[in-house]
Amino acid sequence: MLHWLAAARGALVPPAPRPGAVLVDLGCGAGLLAPHLVGKGYRHIGVDRSPSALRQACEHGVQGVLGDVLATPLSDGCADVVAAGEILEHVTDLPRAVAEACRLLRPGGLLVLDTLAATVLCRWVAIGIAERVPGLAPKGVHDPALLVDRALLVDECARSGVRVALRGIRPSMIDLLSWAFGRGSFVRMVPVASTAVLFQGCGRKEE
């Protein structure tokens, strides 16, 4: 499922606004976002705490930086885009993680994120169901206590000068059924009205 989410995240990233533009990928893992940035013109910098994940990311053309998303070893305003995909629901200090992501953005830079909401429905769907379906989410990967408070997320982004808009997404049911029966390997993520389970965020830093 991480591959499907990476594709949806990449679709939110516009072509590079200038030569030498930088995209910082927080919690980049093995570099799943990289194939969805091909041809967009970014220098792709990935931050992760796992050396083995960074080695895999480097194989996809990502410039790996060993570090924690709560304290990245990168300078203020270094990024035209910051991507925080499937990472905020794993951090123990959401305000600090948001402030760090926004710190890295240049004025006018774009923040792109996706994460899980702190709701009863999300705990039931993303943990109770998804972690029991092989191939969707590993058992125990999500701590219910770390799911993201949407209002807090929006407020913390605004505190750091980024007005972020949220929208819900979910797997295409047709694609998901095809995948479940072994007739397809890729599932599109489609927008939905509710942000109560899985959602994306997108916003620009004030000039």
Residues in the chain: 207
Report residue 207 as tokens. Answer: 């000039």
What is the per-residue burial (b if ≥16 Cβ within 10 Å, else e) of 13-33? beebeeeebbbbbbbbbbbbb
Q: What is the per-residue pLDDT across 24-55, written as a single tens digit (0 to 9) for each? A: 999 999 999 999 999 999 999 999 999 999 99
Confidence band (pLDDT; 50, 70, 90) for 73?
Answer: very high
Separation CA 180–CA 85 (nearest Å): 24
Predicted confidence (pLDDT) at residue 131 exceeds the cutoff of 80:
no
Q: Which residues does residue 46 pair with via DSSP β-bridges, in sequence order?
A: 25, 64
Predicted confidence (pLDDT) at residue 154 exceeds the cutoff of 70:
yes
Q: Cα separations (Å) of 73 from 24, 60, 64, 65, 149?
A: 12, 21, 12, 8, 27
Share of the chain above pLDDT 70, in %: 98
Domains along the chain with CATH numbers: 2-205 (3.40.50.150)
What was the pLDDT predicted at 142? 87
Residue 123 CA, chain-centre distance (Å), reads: 19
Predicted confidence (pLDDT) at residue 134 exceeds the cutoff of 70:
no
Cα dihedral angle (49, 51, 54, 59), rounded to 10 degrees? Answer: 180
Predicted confidence (pLDDT) at residue 168 exceeds the cutoff of 90:
yes
Separation CA 147–CA 189 (nearest Å): 20
- Report if pTM > 0.75: yes
Q: What is the per-residue pLDDT across 170-192, written as a single tens digit (0 to 9) for each? A: 999 999 999 888 888 899 999 99
Where do we find the tokens 């980049």? 28
Q: What is the per-residue pLDDT across 83-121, written as a single tens digit (0 to 9) for each? A: 999 999 999 999 999 999 999 999 999 999 999 999 999
The mean per-residue pLDDT over the stretch 120-143 comes to: 82
